[in-house]
Amino acid sequence: MDIARIGVVGAGQMGGGIAHVCALAGYEVLLTDVSRDALAAAPGAIGRDIGRQVAKGAVTEARKAEALARVTTTPELRDLGACDLVIEAATEREDVKAAIFEGLVPHLAPGAILASNTSSISITRLASRTDRPGRFMGFHFMNPVPVMQLVELIRGIATTQETFDACAGVVERLGKTHSAAEDFPGFIVNRVLVPMINEAAYVLHEGVGTVRSIDASMKLGANHPMGPLELADLIGLDTCLAIMEVLHEGLGDTKYRPCPLLRKYVEAGWLGRKAGRGFYDHRGEGGPVPTR
């Protein structure tokens, strides 16, 4: 399969990051979002992020300009019908993703590949909602996309070898490494990572440690580059909760029960960095301050 144009659904942190790395790798990118404000802001955000790479000497100004010229935005989902590969990077809700695929499928060429950046939802089930389960993949980037080197590739039960090979070729062209994961809740990374974050929330909930002591303990005691609560704020507490709910429901084990404190933060709208507050308050100029 010859992939030259990639569509990205969702212009938020993940979708913008995917568009960023695809454009730098030489792909023509068509980016869409239901929010016109998010769509309008995306090219500027991508430009600033590539600018950081320029400042570090990793990318030239000429390459930055070429990459930005390859990114086109559109408010119309049907415009992505001209793409060879479409990667959905919308919110981690199955009904939202299914609606996107339903609206997109009638406009796709027969050979186009559909992919989802879902971090935990069944690829087989998502694929079954389309007309091309054989050409459907889980294409899970890590956050932040331009920095993290791993991409999980998850086959649904019907995904063909040709589809997998084509997606693996895209990952290689992006300069990243893929890991093949089976289609079970959470796949590999989030099956291990998010329960650790959830357990850190329980440790906080039970008063065993404070936000700072929990994060410091894991950074200094386990050599983690970022504490679990700090990482949760980066990922988004709503995303962490959604993944835990998928694990709890899909695997039926009480060890995956979402922490009540994590749920309380989400109900309050304290979703982490993107909301200004989570386990830390990010709104001040002096740096993040623990909220507990």
Mean pLDDT across the stretch 144-172? 97
Establish whether 196 is an annotated binding residue: no
What ranges in the chain are assigned the alpha helix state H? 13-24, 36-55, 61-69, 94-104, 123-128, 161-173, 189-205, 211-221, 228-235, 237-251, 260-267
Is this prediction's pTM over 0.75? yes
Domains of the chain (ranges, CATH numbers): 5-182 (3.40.50.720), 190-285 (1.10.1040.10)
Give dist(CA 86, CA 100) in Å, integer: 11
- Return d(Cα 113, Cα 87) in angstroms, integer: 9
Residue 13 annotated as part of some ligand binding site? yes
User: What strands lie across the sheet with 136-141, from one edge to the other?
Assistant: 71-74, 28-32, 5-9, 85-88, 113-116, 136-141, 150-155, 177-181
Q: Is 92 annotated as a binding residue?
A: yes
Tell me the per-residue pLDDT of 159-208, one tens digit each, with 9 for 90 and over: 999 999 999 999 999 999 999 999 999 999 999 999 999 999 999 999 99
Asked whether 154 and 182 are in contact (CB, 8 A), the reply is yes
Name the average pLDDT for the chain.
96
Give the torsion through C-alpha atoms of 124, 161, 184, 174, to 10 deg: -110
Instruction: Confirm whether residue 274 is marked as ligand binding.
Output: yes
* pLDDT classification of 265: cutoffs 50, 70, 90: very high
Query: Looking at residue 123, what is its pLDDT?
Result: 97
- State the pLDDT at residue 120: 87
HSE-up of residue 252 (Cα within 13 Å, Cβ side):
0
Catalytic residues: 119, 140, 152, 190
CA distance 79 to 129: 20
pLDDT, tens digit (0-9, with 9 covering 90-100), for 60-108? 999 999 999 999 999 999 999 999 999 999 988 899 999 999 999 999 9
Per-residue pLDDT at 258: 98
Q: What is the mean pLDDT of residues 39-64?
A: 96
Q: Quickly state the pLDDT bin for 114 (edges 50, 70, 90).
A: very high
Residue with tokens 């929010």: 35
Residue 99 marked ligand-binding: no
**35 assigned ligand-binding residue:** no
How much is the average pLDDT of 253-260? 97
Q: What is the C-alpha to C-alpha distance for residues 37 and 291, in angstroms, rounded to an integer?
A: 30
Q: What integer pLDDT is reported at residue 177 of this predicted model?
A: 98
14 is in an annotated binding site: yes
CB 45 within 8 A of CB 71: no
Q: Is 250 annotated as a binding residue?
A: no
For residue 1, pLDDT beyond 90: no
pLDDT band at 286 (very low <50, low <70, confident <90, very high): confident
CA distances to 42, 49, 51, 64 from 55, in Å: 20, 10, 6, 11
User: Band of the pLDDT at 255, cuts 50, 70, 90?
Assistant: very high
